[in-house]
Amino acid sequence: MLKLTGIRRSYRIGPVTTEILRGVDLEVHAGDLMSIMGPSGSGKTTLMNIVGLLDRPTSGACILDGRDVSGLRDDELSALRNRHIGFVFQSFHLLPQLTALENVCLPLVYRGAGRPEMRRHAQAILERVGMAERTGHRPDQLSGGQKQRVAIARALVGEPALLLADEPTGALDADTAGEVMALLRQLNAERGITILIITHDPSVAGQCARQTRIRDGRLFEPKAAAADGA
Amino acid sequence: MSRTFSVLSANAREAAESLRRARLRTVLGLVGVMIGISSVIAMVSLGEIAREQARKQFEALGTDIVVVRKAVGSGAKAIDLPNALQVAAAVPSITEAAPRISGRGTFRFAGRKVGGGAVQGVTRSFASVNRLTLQEGRFISDLDADRYWCVVGAGVAEAMRGAGADRLAGSLLEVDEVLFTVVGVLDGKEESYALPVQVNANKSIFVPITTAQRIAPDPGVEVIIARSGAGVHYEAAVADIRSYFRRRAPDLGLDIVTAKELVARMEAQMGIFTLLLGAVGSISLIVGGIGIMNIMLVSVAERRAEIAIRRALGARQRDIRSQFLIESVILTIIGGMLGIALGLAATWTICRFTDWDFLISGLSVASGLGTAAAVGLFFGFQPAHQASRLDPIAGLQGK
Ligand SMILES: Nc1ncnc2c1ncn2[C@@H]1O[C@H](COP(=O)(O)OP(=O)(O)OP(=O)(O)O)[C@@H](O)[C@H]1O
Ligand SMILES: [Mg+2]
């Protein structure tokens, strides 16, 4: 469903051009649960931004559902993000002024859903992530793990094919991180949602069926499923 | 439901919420727009009210009135009475003409002072030209020449009754030691200040013009109040009068004022006035608008993360733009509504002091709201556009 070939991304700061990604090849199949590990600054977030259609590679092709996205206009990319991609961030990125339910509704707002329909969907997905009791809470009234559940609900409410999680457990303690990972794995197993998790944590990576590492601007996928630690 | 409507209504809900949260900033932002709109409203309404007021005065008086005086510094001593008396007959565009010779005097009745004021020497037509009506008796007639008969104004009549007169017609009024027989009593008459001639009927007495010629210190005709015929342009009437007098009294300079000319001049002045006031209002609106723009820029800068999140969730640039535009328009419309209230309150207060009739001009209210919305759109556009162009990646990383 997603195919990256020869992705390069370089940043120019003044006269110096630094190439962060140097030819990343990656094929993600529907239903994959996949981790990307790598040292800080290795370009994991850069890669995720490209996969998430927030950024354009300097060169290389990104093919989503058989469609090359490199030539698309900004509006078309927005629409693709809205329909096909869900984001989960390390720092949750919930809008502080909105309730949990309203936060979850956001992707549907930009899809043009009607209000009652939007709220019904959001309510259902919040129930699924175990947040049925706190739909009216604002983010500052929720714990870290609860916030991340709401964020996951928001990423899923539009029924995207691909869920991108950039260090989803990075701001959580070990127990809460375990719960969030369990939730992601269930969603992957039950609903067949394709999930790409960026992490520093080998135990998180260890729960993923496919594990990759990024090093020197390239992506490696050790054939052995067993991770040997960071 | 269409996507656009869904996004716009969500944006409107959130904009209202966001403004409510940023309360102090909202209020500060409103002040400028509020003052701007209120000054526009007050100014436009006052202009309209003043114009309406003046129009009413002229309407009571008739806009066909023409006032003829000897010009200041003219060679001739005065307008000759015989010439003045024939104006109506000799000038075709003039239907009625009422010359006046003015003096002053103290009025006594039965030995008691009952007032003092103008002793106006007039002809029969003076009553109709000035719309004077009688409550008792008759007005001066053309057969009263040289008689010591008078018609008293309502105020003088009141004072005479106060001094014990039970029937006024036929009673004697002493004017500076000359006795006049009262032949008529005028109804009360409100003075109009729109014209450069004062009748002041209530406190005056009216005597035959030939009588006035004998007793007044200046026996010349002070003024001719005339009415032009229906459909006559005021410039034509003025030209006709001038040519009439040029033939009769070549060295007489005339000063002629017509009501229509005054109306036209006043309307032009009002137009300039309104324009000027509008300009002052616009300047405060520009200042207010820049204030709004500043608030919106701050708001955009503070909400970069929010904008980035929305973009990641699928908001298009124009969705972000409309969100901030709606916010600034709501802001200025609220400011506009407060400004309309304030402006109308100011107008009402001024009307109370000037004794004008307060009226709410629908046009000014509508244009006030429209202007407010336009200010919001205009000054909100740049911040909203800037918001829509923010890089979502930088916003997400908190850069
Ligand atoms: N906008 C930018 N301009 C210039 N350099 C950038 C920009 N964004 C990222 N970089 C550089 O690219 C490199 C990779 O950044 P990236 O955020 O992808 O790392 P990461 O693997 O996600 O690291 P971490 O684990 O710390 O999140 C870093 O060296 C960073 O300085
Ligand atoms: Mg990162």
Exposure string over A109-140, b if 16+ CB within 10 A, otherwise e: bbbbbeeeebbebbbebbebbebeebbebbbe
pLDDT of residue B261: 81
Question: What's the whole-number mean pLDDT along residues A35-64?
Answer: 94
Q: What is the pLDDT of residues B212-243, one digit of tens each?
A: 999 888 888 999 999 988 888 888 999 999 99
Ligand 1 centre distance from Cα of residue A182 (Å): 28
For chain B, the farthest-separated pair of C-alpha atoms sits apart, in whole angstroms, at: 105
Question: What's the whole-number mean pLDDT along residues A171-195?
Answer: 93
Mutate to test the pocket of ligand 1, among A7, A8, A45, A198 (most ligand atoms within 8 A of CB): A45
User: Minimum mean pLDDT among A57-66, A178-187, B222-231, B268-277: which range?
Assistant: B268-277
pLDDT of residue A227: 44
Question: CA-based angle B19:B397:A109, to the nearest 5?
Answer: 50
Q: What is the pLDDT of residues B118-168, one digit of tens each?
A: 999 999 999 999 889 999 999 999 899 899 999 999 999 999 999 888 888
Model confidence at A49, pLDDT cuts 50, 70, 90, reads very high
Tell me how far apart the alpha carbons of residues B192 and B198 are, in angstroms, rounded to a whole number. 8
Q: What count of CB pairs under 8 Å joins A to B?
A: 74
Token pair 């200025």: residue: B332
Mutation choice for B interface testing from A80, A103, A109, A166 by most B CBs within 10 A: A109
B305 interaction partners in chain A (CB closer than 8 Å): 93
Tell me how far apart the alpha carbons of residues B293 and A169 are, in angstroms, rounded to a whole number. 40
Q: Both tokens of residue B300? A: 């955009």
- In this prediction the pTM is 0.74
Mutation choice for B interface testing from A20, A106, A159 by most B CBs within 10 A: A106
* Shortest distance, CA B320 to any CA of chain A (angstroms): 10
pLDDT of residue B107: 94
Question: What's the whole-number mean pLDDT along residues B186-191?
Answer: 88
Question: Residue of the nearest CA to atom 13 in ligand 1?
Answer: A41
Question: What's the whole-number mean pLDDT along residues B172-192?
Answer: 91
Half-sphere exposure of B33 (CA within 13 A, CB side): 36
pLDDT at B358 over 50: yes
Q: Do A97 and B396 touch (CB under 8 A)?
A: no
Which chain A residue's Cα is nearest to B15? A97
Per-residue H/E/C for B302-320: HCHHHHHHHHHCCCCHHHH
**Architecture of the CATH domain A30-42+80-229:** 3-Layer(aba) Sandwich (3.40)
Partner residues linked to B240 by β-bridges: none
DSSP B269-282: HHHHHHHHHHHHHH
Question: Residue of the nearest CA to atom 18 in ligand 1?
Answer: A43
pLDDT of residue A230: 37
Phi-psi domain of B123 (left: phi exceeds 0; alpha: psi -120 through 50; beta: other): beta
